[in-house]
Structure 1
Amino acid sequence: MSIPVSMSLSAVGVVGAVNECVTLFQWAKSAVPSLYSRWSGSQEQILQDHVLQLESGLQLLRDTLPAMYDLVNKAEWRSHEHVVAKLLPNLKDAVAEAEDLLDEFGWYEKKVQVEGNASQSSFIDFFHTAVQGSFNKLNDVQLRLNHLSSQLENMGLRGVTRCFDKIVRPETTSFPNETKIFGRDKELKRLLGFLNVPTISKRKRATSSASTSASNHVGNESRILGVHVLPIVGIGGVGKTTLAQHICNHRRVKSHFEMIIWICVSDDFDVKRLTKEVIQSCTRNEATTDNLDSLQRDLSNHVNKKRLLIVLDDMWDDALKENGQCWKRFCAPFRSAQDGSVMLVTTRCPNVTEGVRTMEPIIVEGLKDNVFWNFFKLCAFGSEDSNNDPELESIGRSILAKLKGSPLAAKTLGRMLSMDLQASHWNSILESELWELKQEETDILPALRLSYMYLPFHLKQCFAFCAVYPKDYRFHKARLAEIWAAEGFVDPQCGVPIQDIGCQYFEDLVTRSFFQIISSRYVIHDLLHDMAQMVSEQDCCILRNRSDLDKVPQNVRHLYILPSSEFDDSSLLKLCKYTKLRTLICKKDLKRKTCFVMGEWCTKLLRMRVISCDSTNELPDNIGNWKHLRYLEINKARPLKKIPSTFCWLYHLQIYMPRIAG
């Protein structure tokens, strides 16, 4: 049972949450003469100047952050470049430093609002720690951000637009890279049925006999007269393009359709470009005009009364821009095609599927069991034969479980394994996390990373954070939304409870297939989880055993500790050196030592925003040190002996949740 106590979830996101601190600085300016009346006028003026400079510096930093978020987003699009990849973690770290500094002043603002001029101690605390202690730090953070942004912008990031580098997503064609397709007999049969391809190899030109299978029709206002739209949908690397290629080269399909057109759409759904490419495919000549109306008239004439199979490979959300008008504009010339013409659309985006389909989609999932094993053997050994080293086959079967039936994952690992047929090499790959293995630009995790790249920035933050949870973790939507809000990932909207906004973020990720629903809870596909760990490897870490402590990045922000018997109080005290931690989810029950360990964390880990601990019946006296804390959860809590007086200093706290088993 979960019992939220004392705080409603009404705080706002990182930039939005940072109050202008008007009350704080009004109070500070008025307090200087009252506290230091014995000072000379010049001394008082110096202190007033410091307050004004600090106020101005904070406003400058606050104004800078949105541009830094945009720069992080742009840098991620170029992170396959070595120099950008090296600078990106530094930029993220500097941004987090800025957020923490602004958040600290937000804490002082709340403190003043609560305590006012009730005591001189709060005033002295502010001047000693904030004015005198943070002014240089504020300058340092601003200078660091300026330096990093200048470096990245000198590399051309200022003008970077959101698009895939051809190195990362090469252009596809209708010719299969693989001569044989594995385990897709069912999908091929369904596709041939939906395309209404006759069983005999004779083209039927009569319009009356060319209607597409009615059993697969769905009601859709976007239906194009004469052309049906059949999506092939699945996650990256699952084999959608390969399936479409084999359909295009199927003997019966080639006989049935008068014209087969293949267009690699990728993330640039430009109507004029795509129309030109279709015309060139029809005529083998480049279009000679840039006028869209002329292009569309030419295309309409070229496809008039012809039975077409048009493949639009790798379509993304931008196909639906302008409220779907862009898609309709592209489709308009195909109204002259013969009835029975079909568009095959391959996409990893369910919202694209829903936005364009006129037929039930073909859902492509991972390869199953022995079929996948045979494909994996071909990738790793170069043959499906069973005459391979039994020891390597045994290791290979263990590796196979990580790949979840993904053909591209099998190719990725198969290439790595085939380079060295020694058991030691194969075991090293088995013992490594998939995201830790160096991969080429077109391997499985870079391919899946494209889905992440196409997310809006706020959803990137939310999904990347999920890498802190172990694989197969079952997420509760409302609770994760609360934690996202506590981390500062949720942007406020006037009048809308921030938890509701966080839940909408969650639903947005569900519709993009980043979460799958299982029995009212949600899970992340293992390969997507590997991808999340890859994009957040400097920020998120999971401790499974004591040896993992040596792998924790120095600037780690989010940490999850599994309940291993290897962990004791001394090993958990070592976490105190990771002073930038914002999240600590500790599933190890230290029983009576829990309060002692938490007390040490409260001394050293001063940026904590989310803390979840298994079992304690007391809170440390210095818990008030956690100025940034928003979310406090104690699992299987025994009745607390007492609540320390410093608990009331947690001015940012949104959720306090003692969870009682049962």
Structure 2
Amino acid sequence: MSIPVSMSLSAVGVVGAVNECVTLFQWAKSAIPSLYSRWSGSQEQILQDHVLQLESGLQRLRDTLPAMYDLVNKAEWRSHEHVVAKLLPNLKDAVAEAEDLLDEFGWYEKKVQVEGNASQSSFIDFFHTAVQGSLNKLNDVQLRLNHLSSQLENMGLRGVTRCFDKLVRPETTSLPNETKMFGRDKELKRLLGFLNVPTISKRKRTTSSVNASASSSSSNHVGSESGILGLHVLPIVGIGGVGKTTLAQHICSHQRVKSHFEMIIWICVSDDFDVKGLTKEVIQSCTRNGATTDNLDSLQCDLSNHVSNKRLLIVLDDMWDDALKENGQCWKRFCAPFRSAQHGSVMLVTTRCPNVTEGVRTMEPVIVEGLKDDVFWNFFKLCAFGSEGSNNDPELESIGRSILAKLKGSPLAAKTLGRMLSMDLQASHWNSILESELWELKQEETDILPALRLSYMYLPLYLKQCFAFCAVYPKDYRFHKARLAEIWVAEGFVDPQCGVPIQDIGCQYFEDLVKRSFFQIISSRYVIHDLLHDMAQMVSKQDCCILRNRSDLDKVPQNVRHLYVLPSSEFDDSSLLKLCNYTKLRTLICKKDLKRKTGFVMGEWCTKLLCMRVISCDSTNELPDNIGNWKHLRYLEINKARPLKKIPSTFCWLYHLQILYAKNCRLECLPDDFGKLISLQKFESVGLTYYDGCRMYLGPDNKWRKITLMKNLNQFRGHLELIDVHLLSKDHAAELNLKNKKYLDELKLNMREDRPTGFPESDIEFDIDNNDVEVLEVLQPPISLKSLFLQNYDDSWLPSWFQPHNLPRLTSLTVVHCFQLESISPPASLEKLVINDCPNLVSIGGAKALARIKTVEISMCPKLKEAEQINTISHLRDWRHRR
């Protein structure tokens, strides 16, 4: 799947929503004279002018947003600067306000699509709440965006390119910063083996001995063009701060390595893989003199001569994705001069990017993980106390061991916290650090979280927002790929692509983050490494918050967008009512069960929190009548089983709603206007699981409940299969309301099927004596139907709706075991016809009708004389006839 490189921040689809509001404004303009015919011409003109101003203002705002998204991305690269860091949250907040405003008019557009000109109240509501109420707000948002963008651009952000500031990512060298390396003996031994470094150092070796040595480690070599050039590429991979560079430095300073290789070249690549610049650096490293030309061909010829027939160790430290730009051609150009190097030369590449590893390696990578507990403790003591000894304050050591668990074996994290701890050897200071979240602690540019933040910064913009959002979930949360993708879609983080289901695109985003090691797979679920989670919380601290206890309420930023409430005993209804103060909330995941009071609390949320897009409640016994206020809502989830018997009619005003999970709730019916939820893609409740394109099976179990729930589910998209149809009464069958399910693609009707042994008696009284025709007559499908399957139908004639004008798009018809059926008239649109075991069938429209059908399969129809004529039709693509 092709994923765009650059994209907007949240609500990507919202930017295009104004284009979809053409119908809304056409309707508004045409409604003015008809609704206000008694007005004077000047009053009508004023209203028309207001509508035009609103339409042009929204279009201007839509045109502004792409530049604002780009500015946010540029500002993030400079967010280590104090002034930029201060302005960035304000810019994001202004962008979010603009998105909310556009999204609200997208809701009105959908309302017009659903309601049409049904009532004058539709326009009156639009005029009072949208036209009059939004003009000033629209102007304020536009002015705010203009002001903030002007400030940031005056600071030089207009020309900012994606690169790391040297303060954030200092240049590295081949000389180790640490005299001692902790816990890497295994990795060091493996690297020496992969480099073919002999146990006894000998600088001068014969060609045969070199070749023999090279072949000794061939088991680690994999096929690659770089390997054919005589240069093997060995990646050292791990997350930021885990010690990749330190390991490479100790390799370069190892006496056996220095004796084995004639030349060791160290290049700090970082995020600017410029072939010409890197080639100059290699030449300078070889000759100790700068390059005398700027021509790439001359540079590469010079480099080829310098390395010719020499056994090299080249270290490319800190390589990023841009090394693979131009579809890998950039990397190949850089490697070209090393064709002349002696066989046995090796290039070490340190990277935190798995895709870089896969793109350049010719050998299996060495993966560097966190230090093991005992070794890590010794290293931590050195960082915090200045020595590895045990003559430290026992109380501080005890606190230190508790802090250690947060650091997940990361050497850089130990250095970061160790420096903070060493500043004050008081238990109170150490405890304050223990009780703080790592992301809350002030850190220098080269400390652990700023170092990990580089990985985030290098993400494409569309992945940044997806990963940063994950900070709303607690540590060790187990993510389900498809579910998180649905929430990303609901938040507006996923860009639609023509012909690809948007949830599939969201899943691809997730896989991209997995490939970049932002998620780890554990038992078929995914988790985020604790340090990466801390980094996510750092970059999203203004947007995402987790409430663990009541005191956390005091730490929530006023403009917070996403909240997760853990099931603390400290939370009560008054605590959750305080969330109404955060009026810009878009996401609320509430794991606190307030039992009967949840409905009341949710009612207050529906009054104050009007920007909600995602709501997940542990449980609720009712949905409030004012739930229709949530114009932006896309995702609603109720986790636990509660007696949620009905859904209020105002729920049907949620025209943006995409997902409704109430799979543990036993709903008795859906509102009559449920079909107005034109955006609904997935719905789960006890007795019914529906999603876009699914195959719905209505067998004997829970059939009546499913029929009741499906009655108003006119958004149904996909395939419907009904078993034991003859057990339904005519009234029961009519409740399915199939004709109004205009997105139904495939319908399979099995009129009778033996009840399985031991099947429980249903509590529904079925009219077993009903005639098949009566039941089938009211199961008329929509004109959109493409495929119809009919089995065990017990009558001579098909129902009256089986006519070409009622089934203009039917392309596939299958009729099986219909023993009394005498005649079928295939629609002209039919492309495939299958008839099996219909012993009384006499006619299927004649040979001329069959000639239009591409595939015909007929078997066990002894009275069907027309089948004999079909052999004369030469252009029939597939024809099978068996007596």
Q: Is TM > 0.5 for Structure 1 vs Structure 2? A: yes
**CA separation of 1:481 and 1:272: change in aligned 2, threshold 3 A:** same
Deviations 1:417-448 (CA, angstroms, capped at 9, x unpaired): 00000000000000000000000000000000
Deviation at 1:218, TM superposition (A): 1.3
Structure-2 residue corresponding to 1:102: 102
- The answer (yes or no) to whether the contact 1:408–1:443 under 8 Å persists in 2 is yes
- The answer (yes or no) to whether the contact 1:9–1:497 under 8 Å persists in 2 is no
Structure 1 range deviating more: 204-213 or 286-295: 204-213
**Unaligned segments of structure 1, at least 5 residues:** 656-662
Instruction: Please tell me whether residue 591 in structure 1 is matched to residue 598 in structure 2.
Output: no
Q: Take 1:289 and 1:200, find their aligned partners in 2: how far apart are those partners?
A: 41
Q: Take 1:288 and 1:555, find their aligned partners in 2: how far apart are those partners?
A: 56
**CA separation of 1:225 and 1:191: change in aligned 2, threshold 3 A:** same
**CA separation of 1:215 and 1:650: change in aligned 2, threshold 3 A:** same
3-state SS of paired residue (1:150): helix
Q: Take 2:121 and 2:42, find their aligned partners in 1: how far apart are those partners?
A: 24
Identity of aligned residues (%): 95
Deviations 1:89-110 (CA, angstroms, capped at 9, x unpaired): 0000000000000000000000
- The answer (yes or no) to whether the contact 1:217–1:360 under 8 Å persists in 2 is yes
Q: Take 1:60 and 1:50, find their aligned partners in 2: how far apart are those partners?
A: 15
Structure-2 residue corresponding to 1:67: 67
Q: Take 2:540 and 2:79, find their aligned partners in 1: how far apart are those partners?
A: 12
Q: Take 1:10 and 1:538, find their aligned partners in 2: how far apart are those partners?
A: 15
**CA separation of 1:19 and 1:591: change in aligned 2, threshold 3 A:** farther
**CA separation of 1:618 and 1:6: change in aligned 2, threshold 3 A:** farther
Structure-2 residue corresponding to 1:18: 18
Deviation at 1:202, TM superposition (A): 1.2
- The answer (yes or no) to whether the contact 1:8–1:654 under 8 Å persists in 2 is no
Deviations 1:324-378 (CA, angstroms, capped at 9, x unpaired): 0000000000010000000000000000000000000000000001100000000
Deviations 1:91-138 (CA, angstroms, capped at 9, x unpaired): 000000000000000000000110011011111110001110000000
3-state SS of paired residue (1:374): helix
3-state SS of paired residue (2:425): coil
- The answer (yes or no) to whether the contact 1:14–1:489 under 8 Å persists in 2 is no
Deviations 1:250-297 (CA, angstroms, capped at 9, x unpaired): 000000000000000000000000000000000000001000000000
3-state SS of paired residue (1:20): helix
**CA separation of 1:559 and 1:335: change in aligned 2, threshold 3 A:** same
Deviations 1:154-209 (CA, angstroms, capped at 9, x unpaired): 00000000000000000000001000000000000000000000000212443332
Equivalent residues, number: 655
Q: 2:507 aligns with which of 496, 500, 503?
A: 503
Report 1:620-639 matches (<5 A): 620-639=624-643
- The answer (yes or no) to whether the contact 1:12–1:485 under 8 Å persists in 2 is no
Report 1:465-544 matches (<5 A): 465-544=469-548
Deviation at 1:225, TM superposition (A): 1.8
**CA separation of 1:7 and 1:202: change in aligned 2, threshold 3 A:** closer
Q: Take 2:517 and 2:86, find their aligned partners in 1: how far apart are those partners?
A: 30
- The answer (yes or no) to whether the contact 2:10–2:492 under 8 Å persists in 1 is no
**CA separation of 1:476 and 1:497: change in aligned 2, threshold 3 A:** same
**CA separation of 1:333 and 1:9: change in aligned 2, threshold 3 A:** closer
Deviations 1:588-646 (CA, angstroms, capped at 9, x unpaired): 01110111100000000000000000111211110000000000000013242211010
- The answer (yes or no) to whether the contact 2:234–2:364 under 8 Å persists in 1 is yes
Greater Rg, structure 1 or structure 2? Answer: 2
**Unaligned segments of structure 2, at least 5 residues:** 660-883
**CA separation of 1:417 and 1:47: change in aligned 2, threshold 3 A:** same
- The answer (yes or no) to whether the contact 1:485–1:499 under 8 Å persists in 2 is yes
Deviation at 1:2, TM superposition (A): 30
TM-score by length of 1: 0.97
- The answer (yes or no) to whether the contact 2:8–2:69 under 8 Å persists in 1 is no
- The answer (yes or no) to whether the contact 2:480–2:525 under 8 Å persists in 1 is yes
Q: Take 1:262 and 1:594, find their aligned partners in 2: how far apart are those partners?
A: 62
Structure-2 residue corresponding to 1:331: 335
Report 1:283-302 matches (<5 A): 283-302=287-306
Deviation at 1:12, TM superposition (A): 7.0
**CA separation of 1:8 and 1:282: change in aligned 2, threshold 3 A:** closer
Structure 1 range deviating more: 208-217 or 300-309: 208-217
**CA separation of 1:220 and 1:7: change in aligned 2, threshold 3 A:** closer
Structure-1 residue corresponding to 2:769: none
Q: Take 2:138 and 2:151, find their aligned partners in 1: how far apart are those partners?
A: 20
Structure-2 residue corresponding to 1:660: none
- The answer (yes or no) to whether the contact 2:9–2:462 under 8 Å persists in 1 is no
**CA separation of 1:77 and 1:3: change in aligned 2, threshold 3 A:** closer
- The answer (yes or no) to whether the contact 2:226–2:335 under 8 Å persists in 1 is no
Over the residues paired in the alignment, what is the CA RMSD in angstroms? 3.5
Deviations 1:61-95 (CA, angstroms, capped at 9, x unpaired): 01111110000000000000000000000000000
**CA separation of 1:2 and 1:495: change in aligned 2, threshold 3 A:** closer
- The answer (yes or no) to whether the contact 1:10–1:654 under 8 Å persists in 2 is no
- The answer (yes or no) to whether the contact 1:379–1:411 under 8 Å persists in 2 is yes
TM-score by length of 2: 0.73
Q: Take 2:536 and 2:577, find their aligned partners in 1: how far apart are those partners?
A: 27
**CA separation of 1:2 and 1:261: change in aligned 2, threshold 3 A:** closer
Structure 1 range deviating more: 10-19 or 524-533: 10-19
Q: Take 1:454 and 1:206, find their aligned partners in 2: how far apart are those partners?
A: 45
3-state SS of paired residue (1:19): helix
- The answer (yes or no) to whether the contact 1:375–1:384 under 8 Å persists in 2 is yes
- The answer (yes or no) to whether the contact 2:472–2:545 under 8 Å persists in 1 is yes
Q: Take 1:4 and 1:363, find their aligned partners in 2: how far apart are those partners?
A: 30
Structure 1 range deviating more: 221-230 or 373-382: 221-230
**CA separation of 1:548 and 1:9: change in aligned 2, threshold 3 A:** closer
- The answer (yes or no) to whether the contact 2:29–2:48 under 8 Å persists in 1 is yes
Q: Take 2:116 and 2:364, find their aligned partners in 1: how far apart are those partners?
A: 63
Q: Which one has the bigger helix percentage?
A: 1
- The answer (yes or no) to whether the contact 1:11–1:654 under 8 Å persists in 2 is no
